[in-house]
Structure 1
Amino acid sequence: LVCKDVCIPEEAEIFGNLFEFSNEDILRSQKLINIWMEKVPKGFQDRISAKISDGTFQLNWKSESAAKEVYFYPEQEGLISYNAKQFYKFTNKESTLFVDRPDRNKVNYDNISGILEISDGTEKKYFALNSSVEKVSFINADKTLEPTLILIVLMAFVGGLILNFMPCVFPVIALKVLSFIKESGEKGAWKHGIAFTFGVEVTMLILFFATFTAQNLGKSVGWGWQLQSSAVSSFLALLFFVIGLVLFFRIEFGANFTKLGNFGIASKGYTNSVLLGLLTVIVATPCTGPYMGAAIGWGLVQPPLISMLVFIFLGFGVAFPTLLLSLVPSAMNVLPKPGRWMDIFNRFMSIPMFLTSLWLAWVAFNQTGMESLSILLLSFFVLLACVIVIKYIGRKSIISLASIIIFLN
């Protein structure tokens, strides 16, 4: 797996003939191997003790100075809760690491092993651990550094605000803002803002409940798991490509249908505002990883009601700027007046849509291989051809062309 914000399967086949290498190649390779062998975790020189209770796992060892960061990677499954924050403290030349244990699948071990990562702020060192475990009824875990609920909720809200400017979210939000500019003289914009917020919050809760349920069933899933499905990745790739085409070519589908170029904002119904909120959350989840990992990881290991509160505020942060523009008419004064610039901006915003579509196609390719990529690229070509024909040739010409092709066949 290749992992950054989400994990994507990768594979490669490497071929080589060992007899074709010269002595210089062998020496150069040996130096490279030695460099990496130095990075292999060494045995921990100091004595380390491990304690385990029903709720907490603890490591203790002697050290001359405090570490900047410490993290333990266990080999045994069920030893610790992987999403839980690991707490480190240093007192009287003794280091202690506390980690919460999972509520389910608890197993008591006689011996534990794993990798201990210790950082002094400039360099990380890795040590291989193998220790017996002392079973105790209770461990007084000092979690004075544990973030408060208010801080985590605030982090979630601010993180949601920042998400509005991420490459995978900004184009979708920009469509909504453009619609408010068009409706700046009307009174119904606030209803669309509330509908958009409703769509964001409902989708956020659906994703949360799906993730929470899967984790409690023992599945290894994280936030953004929906993009680990090739079907979802392919569907979103096509959807973003269509949105890009609509924005670039300024396509409208008549008075009786939703004006797709405006995403239904100018229509009397509010369904499209809700759906735009849904789309925003779906494409936003991979962007949460770089700076929302702590809040999301902490939220997923809390009781359900607290976790739900964290994700509600994350969604509210995503929807807040759009909601503010719709509820406060004076806020629209900071936006430019409607004009030709909007058509230019629409075409400009089609670029990130196309780039997002290509990125999603790459994700699908890494999940299922060349076959899915070929189908997607062919679909892109067919969609582009249809749009060009509709825009510059007309529907009657399409019908005539289709009739000729059918007749010839």
Structure 2
Amino acid sequence: MIKLLLSILFIIFSSNSKSENLTTSDLNFKNNSLDPYKIEFVVSSYNLEKKTFLAGIFVELKKDWKIYWENPGMAGLPPKLNWNEVSNINNGSLLFPAPKKFEFFDIKTFGYKNKVIFPIEIQILDEKKSIKGLLKFDAQVCNEICIPVEKEFYIEFSTKTKFDSTKKNEIKKFLETVPVKRDFVNKAILKEKKLIIELKNDFSLTKETLIVIENKSFQIFPKTELDFKNDKVFITSYLNKLDDKILKSNKYKLSIFSKKLNVYQNFTVSNKDIYEYNLINIIVISFLAGFVLNFMPCVLPVLSLKLTSLVSLIQNKTSYIRKSIFFQVLGIFSSFLLLSLFTIFLKFAGYQIGWGFQFQNQYFLIFLTILVFAFGLNILGVFQIRLPGTVLFYINKFSVNNFRDFSSGFLMTLLATPCTAPFVGTAVSFALSGDYYDIFLVFQIMSLGLSFPLLLFFFFPQLIKIFPKSGNWLNIFKKLMATLFLLTGIWLLSILLQNYNFDKFNSKNNDKVNWIKWDINKQPNLIKELLSKDKIIFLDITAEWCITCKYNKLFVIDNESIVKIFNDMEVIPLQLDWTKKNYKIEKFLFSKERYGIPYNEFYSEKYRNGYLLPELLNEKVLINAINKIKN
């Protein structure tokens, strides 16, 4: 309560400072204890090329007194210049050097103590005439009370005036700390009452950095934190104590002050970026991601075989069928649970993880290729997979009669994890960029989606009757599934060969788009270089093992209308190939909070940080994106 009362009293003293019956003429800096400041106006030089004078407001303050920055914070008034009575002025900008942060209980303000020089760049209208008139400087200095400063300077000088150059270096010292405009914000989102700003990878800061975030009404975000995570820098501002008015604007300014650099950037948080991750949205996307995995080349043969095995059980009791399905579903849920726990452990240990990059691991590919070929040949009757007698004994002893069903669920998950599919990237990106709870939730909902076809038969076993009774057709169907297994094995083998010798086994290039193969290791700044030439760029991160990437290229990007638009607009198509492991590409994806591919993005002068496209493309989405970045 006392803390709150003191805060209120501070604001009252600040906001009613005009009631103090003190003026500059009443004060004497050297002799009078009531005089906390001394202020001078000095012109130090003239720049013939820029037609500007360099001047400064010199402010000296007594101990513990302060004068404010251009945004004083939660209390106080900023210094201002009034040029209304000065002639021959085109512009006279009062510049603000790097400030310090002051805290009085919960009240945060920004300003200067002891001594500060406010540099001024004065642009003359007519070089043949003098600048003259009455310059007014208004400010506020505070300690336990706040005093208004109303200082007037009669000025008269021209391009021929000889200035006191001894002050020039002093002014320049403070001028060097004035923040300059720079492009360093990668993206900003509002999530769970937090404003999260991700800075670009080439922007390094320290914990001592002063960070100021404000909206266009000069309201500041009261609490900000700097976080260093996996080679990325994040600024987080907590909004729970903010007035809702601060969020009505989508235009913000971020200023950063450190020993090495002082910069600022105006940025926006668009409606697309202000995406409150709705629980229902995530559940739906995660479910669809798991469901779509059923139709990927790795999983489809296993699912089809399980359905045919259910058909062979059509003569059995419903309870027996449900028991078989239950253990299959249990295998899927258990394996996804282990996967989520393993992912949480890796994230806790500080590792960056993604989805689908298992295909870059030759040992995983060898294991998976052998496994898929073995299943295919086993179905064709080339050989039988027999468990050792000891294992069978313990299985029977502990009544694990549905071990095969349970293990088939594990197999489905094992084959699903490397697969890329629509919705998978969105779901996994949310999970891996979120908290541990997000990982657990997304993976378990994905397991529900993967299990959905089996669950349909669990709750409605009569659906099995839509299939013909077991007979010769079933043998033919099993051979067809075996063929799918063998084709999947051949596909996996081709990827394995590319990992060993990429150039020799790379697929033939029949693309209609003239891709520029981007070597990110040799040209890490290629996008920046092209943007500096005012180019429009289309980036495609792909891989030979990415089925969705193949679909996007074949049915959308290579569409004649899209190719024509690319050519007419002189779009530069860049392509990164992630078939083989590449740390730089991985780092690029993680910097964008994407943890898998496909990845497609436009860059232009308007969208220097990129305009990201959905995983599954269509012609309409691509054309709308082109029109947006063009306009």
Q: TM-score, normalised by structure 2?
A: 0.36
Q: Match for residue 292 of structure 1?
A: 424
Query: Are the equivalent residues in 2 in contact too, given 1:171–1:352 (CA < 8 A)?
Result: yes
Q: CA RMSD in A?
A: 4.0
Q: Match for residue 62 of structure 1?
A: none
Alignment of 1:281-360 (within 5 A): 281-360=413-492
* 1:175 lines up with 2:305 in the alignment: yes
In 2, the alpha carbon distance for the partners of 1:306 and 1:58 equals 20
Note the C-alpha offset of 1:254. Answer: 8.7
Offset from partner CA, 1:53-88 (integer Å, 9 cap, x none): 9962268xxxxxxxxxxxxx7445899xxxxxxxxx
Alignment of 1:8-407 (within 5 A): 50=184, 56-57=196-197, 74-75=201-202, 104=229, 133-134=263-264, 143-187=273-317, 188-249=320-381, 269-368=401-500
Note the C-alpha offset of 1:315. Answer: 0.7
Note the C-alpha offset of 1:319. Answer: 0.8
Alpha-carbon distance change, 158 to 213 in structure 1, aligned in 2, over 3 angstroms:
same
In 2, the alpha carbon distance for the partners of 1:102 and 1:272 equals 48
In 2, the alpha carbon distance for the partners of 1:141 and 1:103 equals 25
Query: Are the equivalent residues in 1 in contact too, given 2:298–2:415 (CA < 8 A)?
Result: yes
Alpha-carbon distance change, 221 to 144 in structure 1, aligned in 2, over 3 angstroms:
closer
Instruction: List runs of 5+ in structure 1 lacking aligned partners.
Output: 1-46, 60-72, 80-90, 92-99, 110-130, 258-266, 374-409
Query: Are the equivalent residues in 2 in contact too, given 1:56–1:101 (CA < 8 A)?
Result: no
In 2, the alpha carbon distance for the partners of 1:149 and 1:255 equals 44
Higher strand proportion = 2
Q: Which has the higher contact order (CA 8 A, sep 6+)?
A: 1
Note the C-alpha offset of 1:133. Answer: 4.2
Instruction: List runs of 5+ in structure 2 lacking aligned partners.
Output: 1-180, 189-193, 207-215, 217-224, 235-260, 390-398, 506-631
Alpha-carbon distance change, 132 to 194 in structure 1, aligned in 2, over 3 angstroms:
farther
Q: Match for residue 135 of structure 2?
A: none
Q: Give aligned-pair identity as a percent.
A: 27
Query: Are the equivalent residues in 2 in contact too, given 1:157–1:313 (CA < 8 A)?
Result: yes
Note the C-alpha offset of 1:141. Answer: 8.9
Query: Are the equivalent residues in 1 in contact too, given 2:292–2:422 (CA < 8 A)?
Result: no
Q: Match for residue 67 of structure 1?
A: none
Query: Are the equivalent residues in 2 in contact too, given 1:244–1:353 (CA < 8 A)?
Result: yes
In our comparison, the structure showing a higher alpha carbon Rg is 2
Note the C-alpha offset of 1:224. Answer: 3.0
Count of residues in Structure 1 that have an aligned counterpart in Structure 2: 261
In 1, the alpha carbon distance for the partners of 2:466 and 2:226 equals 50
In 1, the alpha carbon distance for the partners of 2:230 and 2:419 equals 31
Q: TM-score, normalised by structure 1?
A: 0.54
Higher helix proportion = 1
In 2, the alpha carbon distance for the partners of 1:149 and 1:330 equals 34
Alpha-carbon distance change, 242 to 49 in structure 1, aligned in 2, over 3 angstroms:
closer
In 2, the alpha carbon distance for the partners of 1:103 and 1:362 equals 40
Which residue identity does 1:56 align to in structure 2? I
Query: Are the equivalent residues in 2 in contact too, given 1:155–1:295 (CA < 8 A)?
Result: yes
Offset from partner CA, 1:112-142 (integer Å, 9 cap, x none): xxxxxxxxxxxxxxxxxxx964499xx9997
Note the C-alpha offset of 1:183. Answer: 0.5
Which residue identity does 1:182 align to in structure 2? S
> Secondary structure at 1:312's aligned position in 2?
helix
Query: Are the equivalent residues in 1 in contact too, given 2:183–2:265 (CA < 8 A)?
Result: no
Query: Are the equivalent residues in 1 in contact too, given 2:289–2:421 (CA < 8 A)?
Result: no
